[in-house]
Amino acid sequence: MMNYFSILGLILFLISLIAFSTRLKHVISMLLSLEMMALGVFLALASMIMMKGNEDFILIPFLTMVVCEGSLGLSLLVMMTRFFGNDLLKSSNLTFN
């Protein structure tokens, strides 16, 4: 039987990856896409661990790393907004061109 939560996690990851690669204008939209990608990976990982019956201890460090990534991203966003005045990638030298 197919596990629908792992499929949902994969779909969520892929949609977030597409959104991350197409929305390169604002930093906040890129951070939201990264968080949704992490949520998709977490959902797929949690469903696979629960399906196998293993301990779910690995999920706590993963969530800790995701929270640290989000807080670092928001702190960089605040510093970038203070320095440049907005969160546009075009106004800084962080473009991918």
Q: How confident is the model over 18-54, as pLDDT tens digits?
A: 988 887 788 888 889 999 999 999 988 888 888 887 7
Residue 96, domain member (yes or no): no
**By three-state DSSP, how is residue 1 classified?**
coil
CATH of the domain at 74: 1.10.287.3510
**Number of folded domains that form the chain:** 1
Residue 71, domain member (yes or no): yes
Chain centroid, CA 69 distance in Å: 8
Residue 14, domain member (yes or no): yes
Mean pLDDT, all residues of the chain = 83
Whether residue 26 contacts residue 87, with contact meaning beta carbons closer than 8 Å, is answered with: yes
Residue 93, domain member (yes or no): no
Span 43-95, pLDDT tens digits: 888 888 888 877 778 888 989 999 999 999 899 889 888 887 877 776 656 55
Residue 55, domain member (yes or no): yes
Per-residue buried b or exposed e for 39-55, using 16+ beta carbons within 10 Å of the residue's own CB: ebbbbbbbbeeeeeeee
What integer pLDDT is reported at residue 86 of this predicted model?
Answer: 79
2 Ramachandran zone, left/alpha/beta (phi>0; psi -120 to 50): beta
Domain residues for the domain of 31 are 1-84
